[in-house]
Structure 1
């Protein structure tokens, strides 16, 4: 209320009349209703951890704060996760899912979906269930954020149903994978394409690429790539650069560079690893019919054997450099005879050719060289080292070791050093 004064307009007993005028104040502004992508929300969550379900029609959803889970219906829905680590299931329809802040999981579903992870490291799947269930048929768009995102261009979409997908990794080191694809894929990282029943395209993916459970071909760039074959009989071609390559069946061609190759799991079989220039590192788990061929660099093959496994059958051939086979991660005693070209332990049998150095286990090993200049390292345990011919280097390590140098100018570091 305000007081308004008036001058002497007339006389009322000579008094000045003051008239009180009431000015209406505007009402307090109401909070705007929640929106998603500029549209008024029809389903609104709370600031807690909500579990909500959509309708059979078109929903606009604003979940708010909290770690929420939303299952959309059959319509073409628009869903905003809000702050928090949310799980958004698009299910039926052509859905648009925004993870926004937080570490979110977005599953597109059956239609042509648009998945936008937001700022953090998110998991984006183009199907409804994640691996290995086959899902959608539409042409999807997957957009990562500033974090390290996982973009799964999986079952039924670009590669299963014939509709091309698009993935934009955004900032961060992202992963594009096809674990749920019903067919094999050919991924060309330099071209930014993946081909199956259709041609998918991806940009701004600086992390890793993974294949399907079928026979895939992954082709790297001249730079540093991270390629993972999957469960099928794959071809993984690293190209130049310092690459990380994984496969459990098929062929791995590392290419030039200091590469890291892993046989990926404990059931590898029918796997051929070809090394090139550079000092490469290969890890072999248990498996059958594995072959490693060294290159021009100084390569290292590490054998890893968990307890109670079916063993390893492999052939390792060194190249022009100084090549080493290490059994440091094997919890059993090792017998290596380079003259016979054999290494045995438990249920495992390896054929070794042109190998220059052997690293034993922490158990009581027997390591025997050949007529060349060998390096035998016993590590832990009470080891027996036999250099045989050539100028050898024998290192016992901890334990009560015995080193037999043999012919040649040998260097022995052991508790007992013998020549014959």
Structure 2
């Protein structure tokens, strides 16, 4: 086991570790140790530190103050904590835990199943390969899942989450967020603000939740749920199921044979292209079948129903309907 190393020089390189380099612009570390079973520990100083972990063993790396660059080892499961300052963290291969701390950080998981935490500040995170978990916390955060089935949480602040490849779960959290599922069967949750959700390719499920949201199913057979608030829902391509929820919603089925429910509120529903089923439900609703042989049911309330082109079945339900 190494004992802590101290030196007054501004440039240092350990022949045995062969992994830590300091230049004239960096602070020397407070502690460097190597234990058995092999674990390498690095503790930085208050300045701008640069450190590279060892390959093939576990690395524990702590930047502390300053704008630090901390690089894990190849093929090792690393714990990297940037702490305060605008840090650059890179995990390489291995199941890594990377925590930015305070400051505007850039965090890269690279290969395998990683956990990335931005903490306070405006952070940018890239999961890379593997099934990753990413959390933004406070601030404006930008996240890219990469390949694999990722779980991404924006938390507090205006966040942009991109699932990219894989079956991903994206949760915006508080504030106005933009979520894009990308390729794969994704779950998207807007959270408690005015959010924009894009399903992307394949069969996705989108939940606007609270406030006034815009939801786009995009390609695939999607399920789109507005939740509470005055929402705009777009099924786009595919055979979609859409439910407006509470509030006065606008729902567009797009191409495909869609099933649309206005639910509570005074809703506008457009079947558009395809053989659609439209249900106004509660409220004074406007239902338009547009192209295709549609089934249109106003249900409760004084509704306006129009079939459009095609052989349509129209039923008013309860109320004085047109």
Question: What band does the TM-score fall into relative to the shorter chain?
Answer: 0.5 to 0.7
**CA 1:144/1:294 → structure 2, altered by over 3 Å: closer, same or farther?**
closer
1:91 corresponds to which of 64, 80, 91? 64
**Which structure would you say has the larger Rg?**
1
Checking the alignment, whether the CA contact within 8 Å between 2:243 and 2:263 is kept in structure 1 is no
Residue 147 of structure 2 corresponds to residue 206 of structure 1: yes
Checking the alignment, whether the CA contact within 8 Å between 1:343 and 1:352 is kept in structure 2 is no
Q: TM-score, with normalisation over the residues of structure 1?
A: 0.44
Checking the alignment, whether the CA contact within 8 Å between 1:71 and 1:91 is kept in structure 2 is no
**CA 1:114/1:358 → structure 2, altered by over 3 Å: closer, same or farther?**
same
- Gaps (5+ residues) in structure 1? 1-31, 42-55, 128-134, 190-203, 304-310, 326-340, 360-368, 377-388, 393-405, 407-420
1:120 corresponds to which of 85, 91, 94? 94
As a proportion of its length, which structure holds more strand? Answer: 1
Q: Aligned with 1:273: secondary structure?
A: strand
CA shift, 1:147, in A, is: 1.2
**CA 1:282/1:61 → structure 2, altered by over 3 Å: closer, same or farther?**
farther
CA shift, 1:153, in A, is: 4.7
RMSD: 5.4
Alignment of 1:331-346 (within 5 A): 343=263
Distance (whole Å) between structure 2 residues aligned to residue 168 and residue 342 of structure 1: 38
**CA 1:279/1:316 → structure 2, altered by over 3 Å: closer, same or farther?**
farther
**CA 1:136/1:185 → structure 2, altered by over 3 Å: closer, same or farther?**
closer
CA shift, 1:317, in A, is: 2.3
Residue number in structure 1 paired with 2:103: 136
CA shift, 1:299, in A, is: 0.6
Checking the alignment, whether the CA contact within 8 Å between 1:96 and 1:114 is kept in structure 2 is yes
CA shift, 1:210, in A, is: 5.8
Distance (whole Å) between structure 1 residues aligned to residue 119 and residue 3 of structure 2: 33
- Gaps (5+ residues) in structure 2? 6-12, 18-27, 280-286, 298-306, 316-322
CA shift, 1:146, in A, is: 3.4
Q: Aligned with 2:146: secondary structure?
A: coil
Q: Aligned with 1:297: secondary structure?
A: coil
Distance (whole Å) between structure 2 residues aligned to residue 70 and residue 60 of structure 1: 6
Distance (whole Å) between structure 1 residues aligned to residue 277 and residue 202 of structure 2: 19
Residue 65 of structure 2 corresponds to residue 107 of structure 1: no
Residue number in structure 2 paired with 1:353: 269
Q: TM-score, with normalisation over the residues of structure 2?
A: 0.54
**CA 1:99/1:231 → structure 2, altered by over 3 Å: closer, same or farther?**
farther
Distance (whole Å) between structure 2 residues aligned to residue 101 and residue 35 of structure 1: 25
Distance (whole Å) between structure 1 residues aligned to residue 118 and residue 127 of structure 2: 12
**CA 1:146/1:293 → structure 2, altered by over 3 Å: closer, same or farther?**
closer
Q: Aligned with 1:289: secondary structure?
A: coil
Residue 91 of structure 2 corresponds to residue 172 of structure 1: no
Checking the alignment, whether the CA contact within 8 Å between 2:59 and 2:72 is kept in structure 1 is no
CA shift, 1:272, in A, is: 1.6
CA shift, 1:271, in A, is: 0.8
**CA 1:63/1:79 → structure 2, altered by over 3 Å: closer, same or farther?**
farther
Residue number in structure 2 paired with 1:52: none
**CA 1:87/1:324 → structure 2, altered by over 3 Å: closer, same or farther?**
farther
Listed one character per residue, the Cα deviations across residues 39-70 of structure 1 (whole Å, up to 9, x for unaligned) are 568xxxxxxxxxxxxxx95211224449x997
Listed one character per residue, the Cα deviations across residues 333-376 of structure 1 (whole Å, up to 9, x for unaligned) are xxxxxxxx7536xxxx68473564489xxxxxxxxx99975499
